[in-house]
Structure formats: C-alpha cells, structure tokens
C-alpha cells in the first residue's frame, strides 16, 4: 500500500508539471489574466521589451533594438540571416556589448538600453528580399529569460548600393565602422598584452601631434635647469617622473570622463588657469635668460627664484607636478584611440582594463619625451658659453609655449603680434644685424642667417596683424586686396546651441533632402583649429561639402547646453564631427574624432548619402 501511495503521489506531481507547462505555453508572458497566480504585471511582452527596427543604409542591412529598462539582449544571439542564398552578404557585425556573468552561460556580453547589428551587401541587387532577424533576451525585473525570437522582414534593396570600407583596417567583407568604434571592439575581443601593445603603439603615433609637442620644451627646460650637476641617470629619472605623472593623471581623467561623460581636462581650459600657467612659463624663461641677476628688490627676486627652482625640477615632486599640470592644461586633445578606450569603459564598466589601456597609451605618448630628456642629459655640455646658449634657446621655446597657450583665449591678431615680437627680439639676440669678424666660424654665420630669417618672418607677422590678418602661415594674404579672397577660403557654418536648435536644423535639412555635417568646435581645442586652417580651407573638401548643411556647435563655454550635446552623442568634447544622411539619420560609422588631413576627410565626406 505504501508503494501504491508513492506511485500515486508521483503521478500527481507529473500531472501538475504538465498542466503548468501548458499554461506557460498558452500565456508565457502574462499578456492576459494570470488567474491569480501573480507575477504577470512584471513581465513585458517581448515586442515591448525589445522593440525591433530594421532598415537599409549605405549598402548595409541594419537591425536595431530599443531595450526596455531592466531587460537585456544576448550579443551572441543577435543574427541577421538572408533567406535568399543568391544574395551576397558580408560578415555580420554587432555593436560592442557589456560583460556579464550568466548563471547558465558563464561570462557573456549583453546589451542594455539599445543594440545594433549590421549585415553588409557585397553586390547591388534590385527588388525586395526576405531576412530573418534572431535574438534572445531576459528580464532582470521578473527574473525570467524569453525563448529565442525569430522575425521575418522584407526589405527593398533596389537603392541600397554596396557597403564600402571606411578608413584603414576595414576589409571589403566588413560593415563600415568608425575608427574609435573599431578600437572599442578590439578591446572587447583582444588579449590583454595585445591591447597593451596596441595602445602603446597608438600613443607613439600621438606623440608627434600638436597636443604632445609643446611638452618637449617644458621637459627639456627642466633638464637644462639642472645645470652642471646633471647626469644621464638623473636626466632619465627626471624624464620618467614627468611622463609617469602625465600618464597617471591621463588615466584617472580618462576613467572619470568615461564614467561621468565629462572631460576633466576641459575644466582646466579656463582663461584664468591658462593665463596663470602661461605666466609660469614666462617666469621660467626669464630664469633661463638670467634676468634674475638684475637688480630687482630682494623680496621679489627671492620669490621668483624660489618659484623657478621649485618648478624646474629641483625635486622629483616638482617635476611630477609639472607633468601633471602639463597633461591637464597643455594637451587636452581627444583622438580616436583615446575615445575608443572611453567608449569601451562607458559601455562595459571595465575600469581596470580601460585604465591599463589609457596608461599604456599615455606611456607611448611619453616614450619620445623620455628619450629626448635622457639624451639631453648625455650630450649637454657641462660648462662654458654653450650652456648659456642652450638655456637661451629653451627660454625662447618656453615663451613660444606660453604664446601657444594664450592662442586659446586671445584674439588671433594679438597672438600674431606676440609671435612677431618673439621672432624679432630673438633675431636681435642672435646678432642678426651685427657685422661678423672675418675669422667667424660657419656656425656663427649660420646662426646669423637663421636670425635674419626670423626677423623677416616676424616683420611679415607684424604687418599682417596690423592689416587684420589672422593666418600665421600666410601673414600677408590679407594685404593688398586679398581680404575678400581670404574670407571666401573658409567654410561658413550655421551656429547652433543645444539640442533644440540642432533638431530644428535637422528637420529643415531633411525637408530639403540634404545631408548634414555637425562640427564640434572650441577656442581652446588645438585640433579644431588645425581642422579650420588645414582641412576646411582645402578646395577638394569644400567641393565635397557643397551640397551639405554645415552646422557648428561652439562648445567653448562648456555650459549646460554644451554638456547636453555631449551626452546626446556620447562624446566627451571636441574635436568631433557628426554626419547625417538626407533622411535625417546619423551615419555613426563616418564620425570623425580628432584631426583628419584634407584628402582623407574629403574621401570620408563622399560616403555620406
């Protein structure tokens, strides 16, 4: 009897399981009455939890999802499949996901809020074709996972074209992807040491940009300021201290920017901070020239000498402080490798790997500085007139860095005047107008010749500034009737402020069927000014932009509306250029971050539809 009761209990449990499975199959997501069983209010219909949109864009079939709060999709479960075997397609690409530990699948990548998958078309076709979109996700709120979902869609490919490679590193079989997104993608899948080596290599390339170049005279002046007591060993450790401080603060600032969406370096582009730092450089240069030996009041002289010595690197702490300040104030540039790392951190929350990547990138940028600083300690003469000459050279370079910084906050005519004064006065110190003795060496004659060239160029800058010219590289272009031609050589942007004005302009452009270019600009952004002077003045670039609506967001104030734009586009500051096609959709794969030469930029613009 006991055995019979056990068999009866087992059959009862099995029947209850079958009934519950039938109820779940009939109404798995609580769409109707739950019969008092509870939990139905927390479970969304899958079409509500994962809102799917499909489209064809630039020769690529795209599927995008808007994911409800508290839900996520599995990255490896998102698929786009062409049902027609004759349709030639490339390799499916998906946007980077966030790392998550799943109880059943282990370490995986998932999407919160939004996701996108792209399937490139390798051959132009006409007509409509069927595609199957597959995906699967879970609800963190209800604690359930949805069964795999498969949806069939029909898309017209008649005007789709063929997906092309954008930028270096794309093959013909891959969907177009911006450089910063490719870097973020590589961080997702690359091994630790490959990531470290790649970021170090990117840093070496960035070391030769205007963002890092001004640090050379700063570090060199620290080395030269040591005088005869300097050894190669000390020069190496001083240089290493400077670069390590720069790398550490860049890493901290980068991680904070990725988490908050705001760049810590932008905070230091304040006119008062830039002006104060420029004054420090002027004081350092005066010490290089030996001006502190003049009969100044003893209290002022001792204060200047103390300030100079503390910043010249009399202690390693002083060198570290100078490296820290240099990274924050001198070189606030956003480049594609840096932005790619920030995208990775913001999407995955992996601050450890992101921080290591940023540190490696910064050390790559600083490696040439270490080499220059160490070699200066090895080849620098120990005594004699050569020491005074070298100090004077670096004094001039420090003044140049001060003027370079003031360019961000002063009118261009004023900075041209400052450059003219620097070149003219330097040429006088080089004895450009003194008669050389017959027995003068070749070096003395070369020195005088360089001084004369500096004087002539300084005089040209002086004349150009007086005529209202703003171009240092063509100072006389505005003289003698060239002003109109100069004005015509620059692109005319429509200025917008905030998301509301941007949307109004986008709606107007869409009504006209015109694509749009949005340029993020700031007065303190050196790469922005490079684009203004070297890229946007190119005739090929101007021709390629002729049929576009050109918008510019001047984010110099860095106010609430500027930050709203940053957050909308997921960027941390300029330079950045956003493209929209004629339908008003952003072409994210064509985003430009950092400086881009005219030829590459013109080719990029031609891909805007």
pLDDT band (50, 70, 90) for residue 380: low
Name the percent of the chain lying above pLDDT 90: 4
Domain covering 490-605 assigned CATH 3.40.50.1110 in the classification: no
Average pLDDT over residues 326-343: 67
Give how far the C-alpha of residue 246 lies from the chain's centroid of Cα atoms, to the nearest Å. Answer: 17
| 3-state SS class at 520 | strand
Using the predicted structure, report yes or no on whether residue 485 has a pLDDT greater than 50. Answer: no
Q: Backbone dihedral region of 525: left (phi > 0), alpha (psi from -120 to 50 degrees) or beta?
A: beta
pLDDT the model gives residue 265: 59
Condensed to tens digits (0 to 9), the pLDDT of residues 242-269 reads 889 888 887 887 777 666 655 655 666 6
Helical spans, DSSP H, in 290-331: 298-312, 316-325
Domain map of the chain by residue range? Answer: 2-40, 44-176, 188-389, 411-488, 490-605
Range from 140-154, 197-211, 278-292 that averages highest in pLDDT: 140-154
pLDDT band (50, 70, 90) for residue 517: very high
Rounded CA-CA distance 38/33 in Å is: 10
Range from 84-98, 476-490, 544-558 that averages highest in pLDDT: 544-558
Helical spans, DSSP H, in 467-553: 483-488, 498-512, 526-530, 539-544
Average pLDDT over residues 498-513: 88
Using the predicted structure, report yes or no on whether residue 583 has a pLDDT greater than 90. Answer: no
The residue among 41, 86, 48, 89 whose CA lies nearest residue 66 is: 48
Rounded CA-CA distance 123/392 in Å is: 64
User: Which of the two residues, 75 and 378, has the higher pLDDT score?
Assistant: 75
pLDDT the model gives residue 385: 58
pLDDT the model gives residue 603: 85
Using the predicted structure, report yes or no on whether residue 300 has a pLDDT greater than 70. Answer: no
Rounded CA-CA distance 76/61 in Å is: 18
> Which pTM value belongs to this model?
0.55
Three-state DSSP string of 191-215:
CHHHHHHHHHHHHHHHCCCCCCCCH
13: part of which helix (H) or strand (E)?
helix 2-26
Range from 81-85, 238-242, 278-282, 374-378 that averages highest in pLDDT: 238-242
CB 476 within 8 A of CB 463: yes
pLDDT band (50, 70, 90) for residue 409: confident
Condensed to tens digits (0 to 9), the pLDDT of residues 33-58 reads 433 333 445 688 888 899 999 988 77
User: Which of the two residues, 305 and 326, has the higher pLDDT score?
Assistant: 326
**Beta-bridge mates of residue 299:** none
DSSP string, 408-460: TTS-HHHHHHHHHHHHHHHHHHTTTTSPPPTT--HHHHHHHHHHHHHHHHHHH
Using the predicted structure, report yes or no on whether residue 135 has a pLDDT greater than 90. Answer: yes
pLDDT the model gives residue 20: 45
Range from 29-33, 239-243, 299-303 carrying the lowest mean pLDDT: 29-33
Asked whether this chain's domains 44-176 and 490-605 adopt the same fold, the reply is: no
Range from 173-182, 234-243, 342-351 that averages highest in pLDDT: 234-243
pLDDT the model gives residue 550: 92
Side-chain-side CA neighbours of 204 within 13 Å: the count stands at 8
CB 555 within 8 A of CB 574: yes
Average pLDDT over residues 319-334: 73
Q: Tokens representing 439?
A: 């027995």
Domain covering 44-176 assigned CATH 2.60.40.1730 in the classification: no
Instruction: Check residue 328 and report its DSSP letter.
Output: I
Using the predicted structure, report yes or no on whether residue 2 has a pLDDT greater than 60. Answer: no
The residue among 369, 343, 362 whose CA lies nearest residue 199 is: 362
Side-chain-side CA neighbours of 382 within 13 Å: the count stands at 5
User: Which of the two residues, 468 and 139, has the higher pLDDT score?
Assistant: 139
Q: How many CB atoms lie within 10 A of CB 166?
A: 22
pLDDT band (50, 70, 90) for residue 394: confident
pLDDT the model gives residue 313: 41
209 phi/psi in degrees, rounded to 5: -105, 165
Q: Are strands 137-139 and 98-102 parallel, antiparallel or unpaired?
A: unpaired
pLDDT the model gives residue 36: 36
The residue among 386, 395, 397 whose CA lies nearest residue 228 is: 386
Using the predicted structure, report yes or no on whether residue 484 has a pLDDT greater than 50. Answer: no
Give how far the C-alpha of residue 264 lies from the chain's centroid of Cα atoms, to the nearest Å. Answer: 13
Rounded CA-CA distance 177/194 in Å is: 21
Q: Tokens representing 122?
A: 């390798």
pLDDT band (50, 70, 90) for residue 134: very high
């Amino acid at each position: 009897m006991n055995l019979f009761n056990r068999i009866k209990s087992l059959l009862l449990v099995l029947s209850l399981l079958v009934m519950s499975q039938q109820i779940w199959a009939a109404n798995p997501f609580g769409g109707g009455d739950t019969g008092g069983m509870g939990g139905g209010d927390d479970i969304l219909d899958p079409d509500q939890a994962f809102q799917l949109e499909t489209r064809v864009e630039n020769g690529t079939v795209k599927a995008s999802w808007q994911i409800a709060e508290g839900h996520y999709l599995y990255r490896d479960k998102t698929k786009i499949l062409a049902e027609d075997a004759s349709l030639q397609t490339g390799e499916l690409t998906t946007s980077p996901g966030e790392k998550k530990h799943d109880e059943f699948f282990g370490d995986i990548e998932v999407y919160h809020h939004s996701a996108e998958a792209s399937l490139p078309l390798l051959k132009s076709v006409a007509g409509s074709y069927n595609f199957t979109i597959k995906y699967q996700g879970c609800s963190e709120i209800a604690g359930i996972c949805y069964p795999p979902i498969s949806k069939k869609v029909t898309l017209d490919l008649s005007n789709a074209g063929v997906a092309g490679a954008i930028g270096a590193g794309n093959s013909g079989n891959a969907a177009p992807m911006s450089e910063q997104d490719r870097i973020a993608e590589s961080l997702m899948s690359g091994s630790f040491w490959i990531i470290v080596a790649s970021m170090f290599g990117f840093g070496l390339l960035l070391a030769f940009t205007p963002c890092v170049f001004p640090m050379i005279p700063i570090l060199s002046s620290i080395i030269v300021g040591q005088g005869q007591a300097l050894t190669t060993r000390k020069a190496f450790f001083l240089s290493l201290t400077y670069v390590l401080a720069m790398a550490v603060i860049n890493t901290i600032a980068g991680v904070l920017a990725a988490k908050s969406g705001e760049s810590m370096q932008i905070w230091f582009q304040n006119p008062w901070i830039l002006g104060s730092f420029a004054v420090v450089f002027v004081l350092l240069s005066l010490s290089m020239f030996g001006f502190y030996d003049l009969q100044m009041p003893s209290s002022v002289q001792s204060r200047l000498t103390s300030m100079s010595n503390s910043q010249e690197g009399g202690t390693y702490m002083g060198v570290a402080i100078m490296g820290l300040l240099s990274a924050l104030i001198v070189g606030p540039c956003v480049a594609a490798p840096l932005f790619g790392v920030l995208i990775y951190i913001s999407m995955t929350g992996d601050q450890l790997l992101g921080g290591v990547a940023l540190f490696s990138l910064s050390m790559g940028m600083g490696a040439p500085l270490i080499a220059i600083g160490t070699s200066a300690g090895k080849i620098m003469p120990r005594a004699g007139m050569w020491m005074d000459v070298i100090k004077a050279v670096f004094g001039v370079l420090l003044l140049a860095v001060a003027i370079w910084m003031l360019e961000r906050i002063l009118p261009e005519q004023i900075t041209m005047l400052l450059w003219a004064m620097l070149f003219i006065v330097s040429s006088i110190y080089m004895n450009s107008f003194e008669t050389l003795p017959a027995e003068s060496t070749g070096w003395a004659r070369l020195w005088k010749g360089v001084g004369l060239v500096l004087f002539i160029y300084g005089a040209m800058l002086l004349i150009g500034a007086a005529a209202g010219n703003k171009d240092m590289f063509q100072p006389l272009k505005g003289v003698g009737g060239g002003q109109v031609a100069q004005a015509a050589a620059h692109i005319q942007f429509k200025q917008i402020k905030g998301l509301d004005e941007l949307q109004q302009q986008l709606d107007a452009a869409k009504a006209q069927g015109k694509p749009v270019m949005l340029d993020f600009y700031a007065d303190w952004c050196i790469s922005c000014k490079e684009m203004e002077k070297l890229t946007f003045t190119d005739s090929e670039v101007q021709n390629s932009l002729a049929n576009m609506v050109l918008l510019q967001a001047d984010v110099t104030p860095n106010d609430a509306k500027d930050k709203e734009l940053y957050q909308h586009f997921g960027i941390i500051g300029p330079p950045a250029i956003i493209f929209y096609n004629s339908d008003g959709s952003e072409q994210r794969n064509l985003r430009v971050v950092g400086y881009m030469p005219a030829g590459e930029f013109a080719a990029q613009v031609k891909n805007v539809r």
